[in-house]
Structures are given as C-alpha cells and as structure tokens.
C-alpha cells in the first residue's frame, strides 16, 4: 500500500528527522514536504534527506493561507499517485493504535464508499519541561491529556488516493466526493466534532501541541494558525489550557526502538553524503 504524508513545516529542523523516521517505521512510503518561511535549515536538511528517501521538498513563502495552498497543491499534483494521503503537521504523529503499520490499520476501510478517514488528536503537554530537554519527542514528552479533554475532538484527514477533485477549505477536513468518516464509520463533517467522543481503536494522532514552555514562548506563540491567520498571537492562557499531562498510556513507546534504529540509519546515510 502506497501511503503518503503531506505536511507544511515551519522551523522544525530539530525534530524533522524523528518525525520522518517514525512515519517511515509505521509504513509511510512518500513525503510531500512544504517548508514555509523556514530559516532554521529545514529546507536544506530535507533536500539532503531526499537523496536517500522518497521526500519531495517544496520551499515557499505564501503570506496567507499557506497550509491550504500547500495541501491543495499536493493533492492536485500527487493525489492520483498514492493509495492514501494523510495531511498532518510536524508536531503530529499518526499512530496505528492496534496494528503494526498504517497499511494494516487502513486496510479495513479500502472497500468503504468514502473519500477520507478522520483521525482524532491525542494532545500531549509539556511533561513539566520549561526549557527544551533535547532528545526525542517520543521520549521527553511522555504525558497527555485525559480522554475527555475537549481539544482531542479535533481531527485530521487521511484521504483515499484518486484523481477525484477535493477542495481544501480548511486544514482538518476537506470537501470531497464521498465524504469523511472516522474509524467507527461515523460521519465527520467539521474540524472539531464537539458532539462525538474520539475513537482511537485503529488510528490516532499524538499531537505535541505545546512542547516545552520556552518553545511556546519563543516560537509557537507568534506563529499564527491556519484557522486564525498568520498574524494571530496565542495568548499565555492558550498554553495553560493546552498543557495537559494527566496520563501516559504507553502508546508512544510502541515504535520507539524501531525509530531509534531508523534514525541511526538516516544519520549514517547523511554522513556518507
């Protein structure tokens, strides 16, 4: 199964290789990476990695609606080349929760008359880190919100590959021919499904929504948002509301060793040119 990820990245060079390694381990075979106004070496790092891995890099600096522009471009140019295309951010890890790979998790939905599967967030907090602890996100940010945390009701889309048109009207859910359902086959028609409890039986997105407090203060606070505009400044209260650390259910550990081995391989290939 040919599974792709389209992602827009903004200055996430310290975590790019971990994010890529994880998704390679769970079975992603192609990456369409849009580096938006990056000045931290992200574009250059991805270009080097693209010599060894199936990564397509698109640097761009759209002043507004950058995520929507990138997603529409990716679908128009690559949607017919893959079986499934996930649209997620650099702080989101798409986990198959019960299977060994995304292909196994998505297989039951291939015969369904749908255009997309929606995966719910599981929001991870700072785990008490004020400064960046270094190391892997999977190891350092261990704790997440309770299941009933309302922000977890956001979804992201995994769209069935085809030549069918989709319209990217938002960064979470798109206008498609046959609609979107979650893994329980419940219809999903908006980014935030306030009337539904999230289902995590097949898929979930571990969302490192805050990271440490310094990352929020120095980077995320003034980064804007796809649904709020590029000039939006997150208030301090946003961090306090999202920094939830009640649980550690262990899902993040499932692929940790394999990710470390993949990272070792990636560093070796980079060192070799």
Q: What is the pLDDT of residues 156-180, one digit of tens each?
A: 999 999 989 999 999 999 999 999 9
pLDDT value at 222 more than 90: no
Instruction: Give yes or no for a contact between 164 and 176, defined as CB atoms under 8 angstroms apart.
Output: yes
Instruction: Give yes or no for a contact between 181 and 106, defined as CB atoms under 8 angstroms apart.
Output: no
Tell me, yes or no, if the pTM score tops 0.85. Answer: yes
Beta bridge mates, 70: none
Burial class (CB in 10 A: 0-12, 13-18, 19+), 140: middle
Cα separation, 131 vs 211, whole angstroms: 9
Backbone angles phi and psi of 9, in degrees to 5: -120, 135
Instruction: Give yes or no for a contact between 149 and 143, defined as CB atoms under 8 angstroms apart.
Output: no
- pLDDT for res 218: 84
Torsion of CA 50, 53, 59, 64, to 10 degrees: -170
For the stretch 227-233, contacts whose Cβ atoms lie closer than 8 Å and that sit 24 or more positions apart, written own/partner, are 227/170, 227/171, 227/191, 229/64, 230/63, 230/64, 230/66
- pLDDT for res 33: 98
Residue 217 CB contacts under 8 Å (≥ 6 apart), including other chains: none
pLDDT confidence of 225, banded at 50, 70, 90?
low
Question: Region 66-74: what's the mean pLDDT?
Answer: 95
Beta bridge mates, 181: 117, 187
pLDDT value at 227 more than 60: no
Give the DSSP letter string of 215-229: HHHHTGGGS-BTTTB
pLDDT confidence of 221, banded at 50, 70, 90?
confident
Residue closest to 118 by CA, chosen among 44, 171, 42: 171
Question: Region 3-29: what's the mean pLDDT?
Answer: 97
- pLDDT for res 8: 95
Cα separation, 116 vs 177, whole angstroms: 10
Mean pLDDT computed over every residue of the chain: 94
Cα separation, 30 vs 246, whole angstroms: 34
pLDDT confidence of 224, banded at 50, 70, 90?
low
Strand runs labelled E in 176-239: 180-182, 187-188, 203-208
Cα separation, 182 vs 173, whole angstroms: 11
Domains of the chain: 3-271 (3.90.550)
pLDDT value at 23 more than 70: yes
Cα separation, 219 vs 40, whole angstroms: 12
Q: What is the pLDDT of residues 179-199, one digit of tens each?
A: 999 999 999 999 999 999 999
pLDDT value at 17 more than 80: yes
Strands 155-160 and 116-124: antiparallel
Q: What is the pLDDT of residues 31-56, one digit of tens each?
A: 999 999 999 999 999 999 999 999 99
Instruction: Give yes or no for a contact between 110 and 99, defined as CB atoms under 8 angstroms apart.
Output: no
Question: Region 117-138: what's the mean pLDDT?
Answer: 96
């Amino acid at each position: 199964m040919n599974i792709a990820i389209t992602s827009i990245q903004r200055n996430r060079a310290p975590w790019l290789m971990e994010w890529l390694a994880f998704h390679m381990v769970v079975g992603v075979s192609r990456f369409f990476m849009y580096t938006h106004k990056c000045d931290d070496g992200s574009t250059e790092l991805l270009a080097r990695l693209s010599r060894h891995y199936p990564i397509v890099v698109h640097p761009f600096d759209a002043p507004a609606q950058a995520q929507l522009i990138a997603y529409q471009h990716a679908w128009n140019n690559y949607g017919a080349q893959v079986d499934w295309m996930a649209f997620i951010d650099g702080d989101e890890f798409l986990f198959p929760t019960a299977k060994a790979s995304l292909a196994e998790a998505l297989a039951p939905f291939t015969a369904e008359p749908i255009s997309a599967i929606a995966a719910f967030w599981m929001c991870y907090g700072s785990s008490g880190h004020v400064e960046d602890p270094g190391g892997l996100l999977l190891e350092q940010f261990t704790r997440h919100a309770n299941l009933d945390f309302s922000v977890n009701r956001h979804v992201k889309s995994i769209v069935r590959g085809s030549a069918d048109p989709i319209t990217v009207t938002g960064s979470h859910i798109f206008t498609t021919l046959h609609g979107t359902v979650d893994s329980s086959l419940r219809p999903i028609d908006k980014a935030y499904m306030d009337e539904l409890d999230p289902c995590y039986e097949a898929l979930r997105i571990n969302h490192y929504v805050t990271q440490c407090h310094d990352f929020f203060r120095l980077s995320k606070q003034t980064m804007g948002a796809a649904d709020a505009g590029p000039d939006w400044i997150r208030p301090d209260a946003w961090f306090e509301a999202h920094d939830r650390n009640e649980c550690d259910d262990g899902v993040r550990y499932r692929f940790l060793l394999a990710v470390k081995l993949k990272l070792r391989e990636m560093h070796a290939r980079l060192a070799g040119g």
